[in-house]
Structure 1
Amino acid sequence: MPDHRPEVRLGEYESTELGTDQLTAGDVTRLHALQARGCLSLTAGRTGWRLKAEATVGVLVLDRVRLVVEPKFAIRGEQLMTWLAYALHTPVPATARRWSTGPDGYADLVAAALLEECEMLLRAGLRRDYVRRQSLEPVLRGRLDFAAQATRRFGQLDQLHVRTFDRESDIWDNRVLGVALRAALSQTTDSRLARALHGIADAFPHSGTPAAALRALQRTQYTRLNARYRPAHTWARLLLVGGGVTDLLTDHGTTAGGLLLAMPMLWEAVVRRLAAEAATPRGGRPVPGHGASGITVRGDLGKTSTFRPDLLLSFPRPDTDAPVLLPVDAKYKRYDRHGVSAGDIHQLLTYSAGYTPADAPSAVIVHPQPGGHARRTLRIGTSQRSLGVVHVLGIDTHARPEQASAWMRTALPSPP
């Protein structure tokens, strides 16, 4: 059931004061764990605590308060679900409404998206598959388990140990959704949404734990039989790991009772799809930026370090079989308001030196720019020698992803 804890709201990079009576010792431990992962910062003061949000949005249910961090910087609430669905290659749910219409914002929207997909699955009929069962029956069904019958019934035939293989809906495709629907109940304060989630949850099998459901999702292979489950599984995975997809948006998820989204990781996923779509008409494709082609540092103290761009595009070269590469890096920074940092220029110069032709080193930075697309070119070098070119592309996050993709196709520089 929805709870009625006092709510504390703030935006990305904003801060707020919390009294000593608002946080328990367990809350402080959880917040410090999130601080170690760069999600927020918590500092002690004379009269309480000062909490500052970083580039992580969503809801965190603490013992005495509900902490809600709204997206403010680049992708505002009304666009968050649209861009998230784009990054996840998932249809935009009809529930992608404005952030301000729900008290929990992102948490409510993800739960509502899961609800919408589950309702469509129910209307079409849940998938059924053959499940092997062992049971004790009064009549013979399936195959008799001779070993169990002999050792447990000692020749008695009034009850038979049998092995059956029947078509059932109690399979992992449906089970993970039942687990996720129940997890969503603890994330929302919207009474209507909570009633709808509770009502539909009973239609799905829900045996198993969230950890087991996540393992099942990692093993799931989609075919024509279960392809329609992919969107529902995507939203279920977000809920079960606390707001992030393990291999896409976050590295570790969050603890139970939270639904947090790391905006820099979301932006990286958006840029990977935008750049890949922009390169396809030119014959380009994404390639791994690690392994034999990775940039590594050897011989220093400690472990071997590596440099990996967020995306490495490979383009065919007309006069040779060897492709030409173009590194693309996503930066969740206000490069529409200030210049590119020296650290990022050094990083992109390293990528261009490692992947692009020596006579024309180049790389691309893609950053969010609310309100309009923009591009500029940085030329780095001395009066005697050019070190490289960095193309800085600003994506209008107020536009629809389809519009941004079309602009990206024209703005992405041609390979050297």
Structure 2
Amino acid sequence: MPDRTPVRLGEYESAALEPGQLTPRDVDRLHALQARGCLTLVPDRVGWRLKADATVGVLVLDRIRLVVAPKFAIPGEQLMSWLAYALGTPVPAAARRWATGPDGYADLVAAALLEECERLLREGLRRDYVRRRSIEPVLRGRLDVVAQATRRYGQLDQLHVRTFDRESDIWDNRVLGSALKAALGLTSSPDLARALHGTAGAFPQATTPAAALRALDRTHYTRLNARYRPAHTWARLLLRGGGVTDLLSDHGTAADGLLLPMPALWEAVVRRLGTEAVSPYGGHAIPGGSGVGITVHGDLGNASTFRPDLLLSAPGHDLAHRTLFPVDAKYKRYDRHGVSAADVHQLLTYSSGYASSDAPAAVIVHPQPGGHAQRTLQVRGPEGLLGVIHVLGVDTRATPEQATAWMGSVLR
């Protein structure tokens, strides 16, 4: 791999690039990522100005290696803990090593995959029955009579056979071999690269990363392969190129990278936080936001539909009725400035559509490093109270378990 100039930024920071640091292919790839809201690339007087948005991680281009570190909401040393929480997978021991490496996030995800793959090797890789066709000097399995007659013309010096043996060359293992190979192109640590290379040799590989992703999408977990779930979670993250959603899946942009869209991560965190916070008090999340959501008809084009990030159902004062709380995740600095008018309008719509008419309420959850916070907005009109918006700031320097307990005490 050729040496690439490292360019390091924080979230929402920018850097100047010389004209020779970006190839035409790099410019095309960065513009494609810009169209998806990951970063901003504009020409300036001496070259280019590259600005990071709410996306962190590593992007390996032809001449530079771009590293965007989390800065605004989730501290670097906590990022892996919150990511593992959002993905519903155990926190890897590698999460404690964030401060030791300059390339943090990408190296840690690769180390998390490596950790799980090494565990699987110690326990023994899963094997399953695989059908094979081969040519053998002695009979194994069943003789392929048609192949023997048409290819060997009845000669018996070599036998065309069909076997059905237990092997480790199955999709559960192939996707991990492909992910380990993908991680090699992202890490900058020689020791980690050496360990990844050594472990990858013990796993079979899929023909292409796309084939591995399709196999992951088809995977169903049973007692036979349940122990593979954490390793597959990190493999999926590496093979897709980032995130807890498909935001950065390949749509024709060929660039090696591991990019994590922070708003998508925060939405996943809030969904799990809210669900776990109300469950001890008899509450639960309503899957899919209660059916069709809020729809708008009669405008030009198709009808539009929108729904909150999370809809919670909690016991009401009357045991026969339940209270609905629409919850929206906002990846914004609402610890430093007031809630925008657009978000107030959005939450009022949610409370009107889902909450009870006598107590319309909605919840905003935003990240707030350094301490939990709560405030209540009362929206009034000429005829009285229109709705109540609870603004909750979750301390991202705390553990997810502490945040869940605090959020539960507030929502109760």
Tell me the TM-score normalised to structure 2 length. 0.95
Indicate conservation of the 8 Å contact 1:242/1:255, yes or no: no
Q: Distance in 2 between matches of 1:146 and 1:96?
A: 56
What aligned pairs does 1:15-414 form with structure 2 within 5 A after superposition? 15-246=14-245, 250=247, 252=249, 255-289=254-288, 292-317=291-316, 319=318, 323-412=322-411, 414=412
Q: Distance in 2 between matches of 1:393 and 1:320?
A: 27
SS at match of 2:93: coil
Give 1:62 shift: 1.1
SS at match of 1:301: coil
Q: Distance in 2 between matches of 1:329 and 1:60?
A: 30
Give 1:158 shift: 2.7
Give 1:155 shift: 2.6
Indicate conservation of the 8 Å contact 2:241/2:248, yes or no: no
Tell me the TM-score normalised to structure 1 length. 0.94
Q: Distance in 1 between matches of 2:210 and 2:292?
A: 35
Give 1:144 shift: 2.4
Q: Distance in 2 between matches of 1:100 and 1:120?
A: 24
Indicate conservation of the 8 Å contact 2:242/2:248, yes or no: no
Q: Distance in 1 between matches of 2:206 and 2:263?
A: 35
Q: Distance in 1 between matches of 2:99 and 2:48?
A: 27
- Percent of paired sites with the same residue: 74
Give 1:39 shift: 0.5
Indicate conservation of the 8 Å contact 2:133/2:160, yes or no: yes
Indicate conservation of the 8 Å contact 2:290/2:311, yes or no: no
Indicate conservation of the 8 Å contact 2:289/2:311, yes or no: no
Give 1:323 shift: 4.0
Indicate conservation of the 8 Å contact 1:103/1:190, yes or no: no
Deviations 1:50-90 (A, max 9, x none): 11110000111111111111100011111111111111111
SS at match of 2:339: coil
Give 1:383 shift: 4.7
Q: Distance in 2 between matches of 1:98 and 1:342?
A: 41
Indicate conservation of the 8 Å contact 1:131/1:168, yes or no: yes
SS at match of 1:260: strand
Indicate conservation of the 8 Å contact 1:369/1:394, yes or no: yes
Q: Distance in 1 between matches of 2:192 and 2:132?
A: 36
Q: Distance in 1 between matches of 2:160 and 2:390?
A: 70
Indicate conservation of the 8 Å contact 2:80/2:91, yes or no: yes
Q: Distance in 2 between matches of 1:295 and 1:179?
A: 42
Q: Distance in 2 between matches of 1:251 and 1:389?
A: 36
Q: Distance in 1 between matches of 2:254 and 2:284?
A: 37
Give 1:329 shift: 0.6
Moved more, 255-264 or 69-78: 255-264
Letter of the 2:36 partner, please give it.
R
RMSD value, Cα:
1.7
Aligned to 2:8: 9
Give 1:145 shift: 2.5
Indicate conservation of the 8 Å contact 1:244/1:261, yes or no: yes
Q: Distance in 2 between matches of 1:322 and 1:44?
A: 59
Indicate conservation of the 8 Å contact 2:56/2:67, yes or no: yes
Count of residues in Structure 1 that have an aligned counterpart in Structure 2: 410
Letter of the 2:107 partner, please give it.
D
Indicate conservation of the 8 Å contact 2:61/2:255, yes or no: no
SS at match of 1:96: helix
Indicate conservation of the 8 Å contact 2:213/2:239, yes or no: yes
Indicate conservation of the 8 Å contact 2:127/2:170, yes or no: yes
Q: Distance in 2 between matches of 1:139 and 1:321?
A: 74
Give 1:235 shift: 0.8
Deviations 1:353-373 (A, max 9, x none): 111111111111000011000
Q: Distance in 1 between matches of 2:61 and 2:349?
A: 43
Deviations 1:216-266 (A, max 9, x none): 11111111111111111111111111122445xx36367431111000100
Unaligned runs of 5+ in 2: none
Deviations 1:197-216 (A, max 9, x none): 11111111124211011111
